[in-house]
Structure 1
Amino acid sequence: MVTIAVTGHMDLAPEAAGAVRASLRTLLSGLGGAGIEGRSCLARGADTLFAEEVLALGGRLTAIIPSRDYRETAVLAEDLARFDALHAAADVMVMPYAHAGREAYEAANRRLLEGAQRLVAVWDGSAPSGRGGGTADAVAEARAAGIPVDVIWPVGARRTGAEN
């Protein structure tokens, strides 16, 4: 089984979702399809699309939840149903943090990468935000650890805001 972690922007424009999903499906199919263990924090945007594609291909999903209060404080109301469905379908690991925040997100990123053979980054190439635990930070950590990074940013993809 190939272990693939994901990082990516939370603020993908709605019209970008189809192209990102198609790119993820193509990449994941080529990396093993049903023979994949996908690791995700189940954040909105890239993490959710990745998790859904892993399951659609018959792979195994592992959710790394950054904190005990993550669902209540970091998941938007309109995303709860998708989050809950993915959470129910995954092997779940909750990080030992009471509250979501920089320290919890950085630790979750480190855990995502532990033992991963690849990192998929749905990333526009933007620099780190300085808040820690973001997409660019995870890409830098993976590259520093010698983990291959597959960047997905299809033609026409864009973000709606400054979240990463």
Structure 2
Amino acid sequence: MVAEHSPLRVGIAGHIHLAPGSERPIADALRVELDRISDRPVHGVTCLAAGTDQIFARVVLATGGTYEVILPALDYRDTIVEPSRADFDELLARATRVIHTGYRHSDTAAYLAANRELLSRADRLVAVWDGIPGCHAASTDRTVDEARQRGIPTTVLWPAEARRADRRP
């Protein structure tokens, strides 16, 4: 139970590779959801991955909230592809707290640890997910499943205008 004066702690999970034109509808959907679940600014919990996580951090800031960042591994920043690395740096600097999982290298084990840490710090989870199962143990669908197994209230958003980026060669 969240104390009366404490902000609601909202974790985020979602797609990294989003098609052009998806950011605005996702941001709008996140704003609506944050307003629906809390009558005051929230405290977000994010890994600041490209795509959904960075959109979420910006929405949290725009609505007067704060956020903390879970870094999956020491080399995590190096795994982020431009142009989102500059966004990552800017958003990381605005975090109220940065938590390191202790992993050296960004891999599935590090991402799983980060997702578990995120869920341990969240009162609820919001997932920006198209409903298609992922291809590894740290995919959005697995995070949603784990949150639900833990009894964490979970909302899945996927605006009609949102699309995943085509990652085929």
Structure 1 counterpart SS, 2:99: strand
Question: Could you tell me how far 1:33 is from its partner in structure 2?
Answer: 6.2
Q: Which residue of 2 aligns with 1:65?
A: 71
Q: Which residue of 2 aligns with 1:107?
A: 113
Alignment RMSD (CA, Å): 1.5
* 1:21 to 2:18 alignment: no
Q: Which residue of 2 aligns with 1:83?
A: 88
Q: Retained in 2: the 8 A contact 1:33–1:57?
A: no
Question: Could you tell me how far 1:156 is from its partner in structure 2?
Answer: 2.1
What amino acid is the match of 1:9?
H
* 1:2 to 2:8 alignment: yes
What amino acid is the match of 1:159?
R
Structure 1 counterpart SS, 2:103: coil
Greater alpha carbon shift after TM alignment, 138-147 vs 29-38: 29-38
Question: Could you tell me how far 1:55 is from its partner in structure 2?
Answer: 0.9
Q: Which residue of 2 aligns with 1:148?
A: 153
- Whole-angstrom distance in 1 between the partners of 2:53 and 2:85: 14
The structure 1 segments of at least 4 consecutive aligned residues displaced by more than 3 Å after TM superposition are none
Q: How many residues align?
A: 161
What amino acid is the match of 1:56?
A
- Whole-angstrom distance in 1 between the partners of 2:107 and 2:29: 30
TM-score by structure 1 length?
0.93
Q: Retained in 1: the 8 A contact 2:18–2:163?
A: yes
Q: Retained in 1: the 8 A contact 2:19–2:162?
A: yes
- Whole-angstrom distance in 2 between the partners of 1:113 and 1:87: 19
